[in-house]
Structure 1
Amino acid sequence: MRNVIYGINLTTDGCCDHTKFNGTEETHEYFTNLMQDVDLIIYGRKTYQLMVPYWPDVAKNQSGTKVTNEFARTFDAIDKIVCSRSLDNFEEGTRVIRTNLAEEVLKLKQESGKKISIGGVSLPSELIALGLVDEYYFLVHPIIVGQGRRLFDDTGLQKPLNLKLVDSKVLPSGCVSLHYLKQ
């Protein structure tokens, strides 16, 4: 069975709002490496519209730095699914899940392939609450912003979720990467 992985940037005070702090070259390298073991990305509408067409355009035009261009190429090469009841315009080749989220993700997990990555906040919170996320990759940035969106602001957990730390690294910038497995 394929694993569903969730990777996200966080501040030390738990903010995951991308408008409150900036990613770095190191951040893009981290997520490029993470995506090497992924062949499907699932996003909700908001995150999909933030990522597409921006990163496919960077991949096509090679308009970023060497590191962001590599991230864009890696991202663009991965199949995508958007979960939305309202979105009608999406990149060619993108599939859509409109209903039965848990059932559809379970089917995807049972298909052959590499890992499935999810991104954003609302959709991952929902999938975590449903018990469908297997691995967590938190990249904690050395900044306190004091405000902004947190995980599970939209969807609460019925009970605590125990995780097992399997890897941690301090990056040169002071970011800390944490890799957890669901117990």
Structure 2
Amino acid sequence: MRKLRYAINLSIDGCFGLSDLVPPGDEVGTYFMRLLRDVDLLIYGRKTYQIMVPYWPDIAKNPSGETAQDVEFAQAFDSCNKIVFSRTLDKAEGSNTRIVRTDLQEEILKLKQEQGKDMLVGGVALPAQLIALGLVDEFIFVVQPILSGGGRRLFEDLGLQEKVTLKLIGSTTFTSGHIALHYVKMPSQ
């Protein structure tokens, strides 16, 4: 069965989507490349999709002025299959992206049964729904060496029916001060 992984960057005080985050450096970039190589399907909601696309596909098409690492990531991102859960998005870019308007839980359960590598979900709103439904199997938090002092906090509106227990299965400390924490969801008691 395929696993659904959730990965996000956040500050030490739990904020995400900040423009003042610390540049990740090559080590963190390599870490995210490994995550991307381990999956064959990226899952987004409309907002996160519209942040990622056209940004990364544009770099893949026109790499001038970009770092080799960004170009490699852009090409891997662009070639990966994508699903966008949205009721309002009219069309998606690229032949390897499809919009899904059906039941979220039903679609993810179906995708988990398909052959292939694991799946990676990004963003905040869609992953919160998937976590509340008990569908996220692994959590990867890349913690930035910064106290933001403000901004939206991860999971502040998460509506859980029951506690989710996680087990740390790996951590990586980078010379930049970033720390990657990799957790798996433990079975319900």
1:7 partner SS: strand
> After the TM superposition, which parts of structure 1 deviate over 4 Å for at least 4 consecutive aligned residues?
none
Measure, in 2, the Cα distance between the counterparts of 1:59 and 1:25: 19
> Which residues of 2 match residues 29-48 of structure 1 at below 5 A?
29-48=30-49
User: Structure 1, residues 17-39: CA drift from partner, whole Å, max 9, x if none?
Assistant: 24342442333222111111100
Corresponding residue of 1:164: 167
Match of 1:119 in 2: 122
1:148 corresponds to 2:165: no
Aligned to 1:21: 21
Question: In the alignment, which residue of structure 2 is the partner of 1:88?
Answer: 90
Q: Deviations over 1:83-126 (max 9, x none)?
A: 00000021122111112000001100100000100000000010
How many Å separate the matches in 1 of 2:123 and 2:165?
21
For residues 18 and 32 of structure 1, what CA distance do their matches in structure 2 show?
A: 21
Q: 2 CA distance for matches of 1:25 and 1:60?
A: 23
SS at match of 2:129: helix
Select the residue among 136, 139, 150 that pairs with 1:136: 139
Question: Which residue number corresponds to residue 50 of structure 1?
Answer: 51
Q: State the Cα deviation string for residues 3-53 of structure 1 (Å, max 9, x = none).
A: 000111011000112434244233322211111110000000000000001
Q: Is the 8 A contact 2:24 2:176 kept in 1?
A: no
Give the Cα–Cα distance (whole angstroms) in 2 for the partners of residues 162 and 5 of structure 1.
15
Q: Distance in 2 between matches of 1:98 and 1:28?
A: 32
Segments of structure 1 that go 5 or more residues without pairing to the other structure are none
TM-score (norm 2): 0.92
Q: Write the distance in 2 (CA, Å) between the matches of 1:16 and 1:49.
A: 17
Percentage identity across aligned positions?
A: 56
Matches of 2:89 and 2:158, distance apart in 1: 21
Deviations 1:34-82 (A, max 9, x none): 1111000000000000000110110111131111111111111110000
1:151 Cα deviation after fit = 2.0
Larger displacement relative to structure 2 (149-158 or 70-79)? 149-158
Hey, what's the Cα distance between the residues in 2 that align with 1:71 and 1:18?
A: 21
Give the superposition deviation at 1:142: 0.8
Q: Which runs of 5+ in 2 are unaligned?
A: none
**Equivalent residue pairs, number:** 183
Structure 1 window deviating more from structure 2 (118-127 vs 29-38): it is: 29-38
CA contact (8 A) 1:25 1:68 kept: no
- The amino acid across from 1:143 in the alignment is I
Contact residue 25 and residue 67 of structure 1 kept, 8 A? no
Aligned residue type for 2:63: Q
Let me know the Cα RMSD of the aligned residues. Answer: 1.3
